[in-house]
DNA sequence: AAAGATTGATCAGTCAATCTTG
DNA sequence: CAAGATTGACTGATCAATCTTT
């Protein structure tokens, strides 16, 4: 049994919490702005397409939502936009008549290729360029402790 | 002159970036859900009211947006909702006819008092309860390096 | 013209209800 | 009835345009 304090917060805990919220909000805004400035779609499109890449047999929407921590209706509407733009393909699922299978299209694959150099540069500029390699490893280790059940892919 | 690598990302950098996005998204969702479950308004209301508390002379909207990293129109609409709910008070600004001054009302002060015990418990449960005090300090130190210009209050 | 602030129109996220199949 | 997925109605965020004052 792990003993968990329920409501006693140290100053350092509150400070760390505030910085985590503030910093992640700011970083996300900067990176989204950078993508937009390059005429590219938002990060969530990249994430979804990246999950689908390498899944030769595609993924069911519910699998995608689980990996991306999205709600079902959010995923449904995201897939609407991605399909509308031609980056994914929705096919009926043979094993389960309720569901579908989502595949990455070649246009989707091409978008990933086009986005990555920009995204990569933005991460370097706003994030890793300001940290040492040890900082990155320490940060990942600490954040991993905060993941209760879901995978940290 | 600091030399900054522009686009070369180590594996640990990418891993840390991914975890930062994932973890902050998940934590924020958990805490927002906890507030909602307790019948309380969203975190951004708390943040705004907290900034106003202790500002005896109130704040101009543009000051509040700077501190909260919000856009001008977002702040305008947030203040609409807070004023509508009676938690803040918008008064004309005497020194500058374009502007206004926003004050916390006593109902706003009461809301802060009501939200804090719930918020505090959620932070402990999802965040600091899973970290050591050293983790918190390390985390804050690393995140501080990522803050380029804006204050980290 | 620039700064502070707001607004109409539009787009994305959310809630509750719905539909279909297992 | 559960699970997978969608949809209509509504709330919140965003963009561009606007208004007022400096």
Answer yes or no: are the C-beta atoms of B31 and B122 closer than 8 Å.
yes
- What's the burial of A50, exposed, middle or buried (CB within 10 Å: 0-12/13-18/19+)? middle
pLDDT band at A8 (very low <50, low <70, confident <90, very high): confident
How far is it, in rounded angstroms, from Cα B70 to Cα A22?
11
Asked if the C-beta of B139 comes within 8 angstroms of chain A's C-beta atoms, the answer is yes
Global confidence as pTM:
0.93
pLDDT tens, position by position, A72-124: 999 999 999 999 999 999 999 999 999 999 999 999 999 999 999 999 999 99
Q: How far is the CA of A42 from the C1' of C10 (A)?
A: 17
Our measurement of CA B130 to C1' C9, in angstroms, reads 45
A26–B69: do the CB atoms touch at under 8 Å? Answer: yes
**B33 lies within 8 A of chain A by CB:** no
Nearest CA distance, A152 vs chain B (angstrom): 7
The alpha carbon dihedral of A27, A29, A32, A37 has a sign of negative
Q: What is the pLDDT of residue B153?
A: 37
Contact B136 A19 (CB under 8 A): no
List the nucleotides on chain D closer than 7 A to a protein CB.
Answer: 3-8, 12-17, 20-22
Q: Give the residue carrying structure tokens 């969203």.
A: B42
Provide φ and ψ at A69, rounded to 5°.
55, 45
Mean pLDDT of the B23-49 span: 98
- The whole-angstrom separation of Cα B49 and Cα A150 is 33
Contact with chain B for residue A5, Cβ under 8 A: yes
Q: What is the pLDDT of residue B151?
A: 44
A140-150 per-position pLDDT tens digit:
999 999 987 54
Q: Please say whether the beta carbons of B108 and B88 come within 8 A.
A: yes
Q: Which of A76, A38, A20 is nearest to B24 (CA)?
A: A20
CB B119 within 8 A of CB A17: no
Exposed/middle/buried for residue A111 (C-beta within 10 Å: 0-12, 13-18, 19+): buried
With beta carbons less than 8 A apart as the criterion, state whether A69 and A32 touch: no
Measured CA to CA, the distance from residue B37 to residue B30 in angstroms comes to 10
Q: Which residues of A touch B150 (CB under 8 A)?
A: 26
For the stretch B115-136, pLDDT in tens is 999 999 999 999 999 999 999 9
């Amino acid at each position: 049994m792990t003993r968990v304090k329920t409501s006693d917060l140290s100053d350092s805990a509150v400070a760390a919490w505030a910085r985590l919220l503030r910093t992640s909000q700011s970083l996300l805004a900067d990176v989204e702005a950078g993508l937009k400035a390059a005429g590219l779609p938002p990060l969530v499109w990249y994430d979804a397409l990246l999950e689908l890449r390498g899944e030769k047999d595609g993924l069911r929407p519910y699998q995608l939502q689980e990996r991306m921590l999205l709600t079902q209706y959010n995923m449904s509407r995201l897939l609407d936009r991605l399909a509308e733009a031609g980056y994914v393909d929705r096919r009926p699922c043979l094993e389960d008549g309720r569901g579908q299978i989502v595949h990455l299209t070649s246009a989707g694959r091409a978008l990933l290729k086009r986005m990555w150099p920009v995204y990569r540069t933005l991460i370097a500029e706003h994030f890793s360029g300001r940290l040492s390699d040890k900082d990155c490893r320490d940060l990942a280790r600490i954040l991993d402790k905060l993941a209760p059940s879901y995978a940290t892919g």
